[in-house]
Structure 1
Amino acid sequence: MSDAAPTGLLLVNLGTPDDPSEAAVRRYLREFLSDPRVVDLSPVARWLLLHFVILPLRPAKSAEAYRKIWTEAGSPLLVHGRALADGVQARLGSRWQVRLAMRYGSPSIPEALDAFEAEGIHRIVLFPLFPQYASSTTGSAVQRTFEAAADREIVPAISVVPPFFADAGYLESQAALAREAMARKAPEHVLFTFHGLPIRQVKKADLTGAHCLEQPGCCEVEQPANRMCYRRHCFETARALAERLELDAGRWSLAFQSRLGRAAWLEPYTVDALTELARSGIRSVLVVAPSFVADCLETLEEIGLRGAEVFRQAGGEHFQLVPAVNASEGFVETVARLAEAMAP
């Protein structure tokens, strides 16, 4: 019988405060928004923005929002993440050791690597839980993991699961949840909402500097200039889900949420899309948020509460938010399969 150490699987999501207090949210936002991949300004400009604009005001507002969705078990993002890790561990068995980490907050990436090291695990598959690639999510998680690993006497062998925005298992997991909602109440329109990004960050992924948002239909066909483009990944995910849900072209649309600051971000904005749908006569809408694999503040509060209110105030009547894939059976199988394919 082999006594080889198991392979480590590190699932990484964005992060969450330790609790919904203003102090905990401030700590979390300070770490999150100090990341130069998230706020890609000069160090001085980033520091001034964070300490003179964001931290004096935003923690109180964000803490209030977190309290609306916090559960007895804790942060929904963390609860769903732990359930996913447990499900994947059961699926993969003793040949693997699965751990969950957050890019910001706790449990941290260095803590997870410490645990692997203590268990004699030096082969790790890193799984950033972001279907569509962005420097501020996948890029940051990969960078932090490799930085934390490089400080060790024994640097582990790490392989990275690539963006899975077009993976059939991921798409079917999300589509199955949407079908369940549609069976309860057939919507007039389906809105796919993705986390937004500043335009400048989207364009940075185009190394040619001449394609992204410069050419008509720049996201319609994959080519070298847009291969790692977040916007193209979002469009491809939305189109694939619409096809699986058998939606005609006029019955679905795409929008971007969670804008921060005054810079130009990807459009249309989700809040505007919901308003326009209601004003155009759409009375029932189904909202799917495929860039989030775990329900969190951005799905439950921003869309599920505030988005629903915006839609109804504009004349809409029936609003449904499809759950994230969370720890659904299909997504557990998808994560396990993709991890096995990348085992070093």
Structure 2
Amino acid sequence: MSKQGVLLVNLGTPDSPSVKDVRRYLDEFLMDERVIDIPQLNRTLLVKGIIVPFRGPKSAKIYKKVWSEKGSPLLYYTKLMTDLLQAQLGEEYQVEMGMRYQNPSIQSALDKLKAADVKSIRVIPLFPQYASASTGSVHQKVMEIVSKWQAIPDISFLNSFHDEPGMIDVFAANALKYKPETFDHILFSFHGLPQRQLIKTDNSKSHCLQSADCCSALTDVNKFCYSAQCHHTARLLAAKLNIPKEKYTISFQSRLGKNPWVKPYTTEVIDELGKAGTKSLLVFSPAFVADCLETLYEITEEYGLEFKALGGERLQLVESLNDNPAWINVLEKLVKQ
């Protein structure tokens, strides 16, 4: 009997923390037209002429800080998820993993599923909130590859799972061990995006960024808006943990360049909280299902030092979903739904 194929896709990681490998990763990542959505010539000059040459060595030093004997944390946890999901689904399924950028590639994962002659493929980009630069890019890459096959099996794509109750439960359970009620403030820090990419998903052309509270509710108008989905995830987590509205803030990290990105910026929120006398800060990063550079270094190290320099005493990261058995149950549900 033919198996059902499952493709888990995460963002990607360099093959090693060497400058050469980091530059190769950044080049592939940032040359994606959905990531830096500007004319190709401008993108090429910016990425290959400025960002990759100058950012490569700096990024390599940071990657070395999170690299371990197990390698890249993002790759390590994604591989664990894949193996655990395969064991849970059983022999009727074949689960493969691919990275949108670098290795193992989406192409190699799809080649394995094709060789197994699977009867269907369920594509699950491991990004809870939809963005053209992440989920949209994965969908496009898969379709480009599969469009060249002579026999194309049934294929289904997961768009987002920002409001998946099981995911919310796992993040909440991870937070409970730190006793959220004992912290002065809670921060939900999501990966940032340029504002122009939010505007592009507003088909009405009359809602996005037209008011200060345009993300205060998820509606038919903003259902594909990354920021609106992030706000929704944060509200669900706050409700699950009984965190009052005045005790938490939603922010966005990892800004690149000078153009306006989704606001408020995490670094500015931390600055304001520190100056206001906040001593303890619990930080969620619900845009990531696996701990990675952005959680293990950017939040824990960079923001942690920044917060303490402003008089803060404790910044605690709520770990991601990683290989939590309850999260594997959620993945199984996302495969079968």
The 5 Å alignment of 1:198-217 reads 198-217=194-213
> Is 1:134 paired with 2:131?
yes
Q: What amino acid is aligned across from residue 277 of structure 1 in structure 2?
A: L
Q: What is residue 257 of structure 2 aligned with on the other side?
A: 261
SS at match of 1:286: strand
- 2:92 aligns with 95
* 2: CA distance, partners of 1:222 / 1:273: 23
Q: Which amino acid aligns with 1:254?
A: I
The AA in structure 1 aligned to 2:300 is G
Letter in 1 for 2:149: R
Aligned residue for 1:191, secondary structure, equals: strand
1:206 and 1:294 mapped to 2: Cα distance? 29
In structure 1, what is the Cα distance between the partners aligned to 2:26 and 2:169? Answer: 33
**Unaligned segments of structure 1, at least 5 residues:** none
Match 1:250 to one of 227, 246, 250: 246
Q: Which residue of 2 aligns with 1:228?
A: 224
Q: Secondary structure of 2:96's match? A: strand
| Alignment-mate amino acid for residue 193 of structure 1 | S
SS at match of 1:14: strand
Aligned mates of 1:182, 1:206 — CA distance in 2: 38
What SS does the aligned partner of 1:64 have?
A: helix
Q: Where does residue 184 of structure 2 map in the other structure?
A: 188
Equivalent residues in 2 for 1:281-300, closer than 5 Å:
281-300=277-296
2:318 aligned partner, one-letter code: V
Secondary structure in 1 matching 2:182: coil
Identity fraction in percent = 43
Are residues 1:85 and 2:82 paired? yes
Q: 1:276 aligns with which of 260, 272, 276?
A: 272
Match of 2:60 in 1: 63
TM-score by length of 1: 0.96
* Contact 2:8/2:123, CA 8 A, preserved across alignment: yes
Unaligned runs of 5+ in 2: none
2:268 alignment partner, SS class? helix
Q: Secondary structure at the match of 1:222?
A: coil
Q: Does 1:22 align with 2:40?
A: no
Find the counterpart in structure 2 of residue 116 from structure 1: 113
User: Post-superposition shift, 1:216?
Assistant: 4.4
> Take 2:186 and 2:103, find their aligned partners in 1: how far apart are those partners?
35
- Secondary structure of residue in 2 paired with 1:235: helix
TM-score of the two chains, using structure 2 as the length reference? 0.98
Distance 1:309 1:122 in 2: 51
Once the two structures are superposed, residues 90-111 of structure 1 have per-residue CA deviations (whole angstroms, 9 ceiling, x without a partner) of: 2111111111110001010110
Amino acid at match of 1:257: Q
Distance 1:254 1:244 in 2: 16
Matched, 1:301 2:315: no
CA contact under 8 A between 2:218 and 2:229: conserved in structure 1? no
Note the C-alpha offset of 1:329: 1.2
- Distance in 1 between residues matched to 2:215 and 2:158, nearest whole Å: 23
- Counterparts of 1:223 and 1:191 in 2: how far apart (Å)? 24
1:158 Cα deviation (Å)? Answer: 0.8
Q: Write the letter of the residue equivalent to 1:23.
A: K
Alignment length (residue pairs): 337
Q: Which of 230, 233, 238 in structure 2 is aligned with 1:237?
A: 233
1:313 aligned residue: 309
Segments of 4+ moved more than 4 angstroms: none
Shift of 1:153: 2.1
CA distance in 2, matches of 1:82, 1:101: 9
Deviation at 1:156, TM superposition (A): 2.5
1:8 alignment partner, SS class: strand
What residue identity is the alignment partner of 2:105?
Answer: S
- Cα deviation 1:177-212 (Å, max 9, x = unaligned): 0111227x9211110000000000011110111101
For residues 193-252 of structure 1, give each alpha carbon's deviation from its aligned partner in whole angstroms, at most 9, with x where no partner exists. Answer: 000000000111101111011134212223222011101000000011011111111211
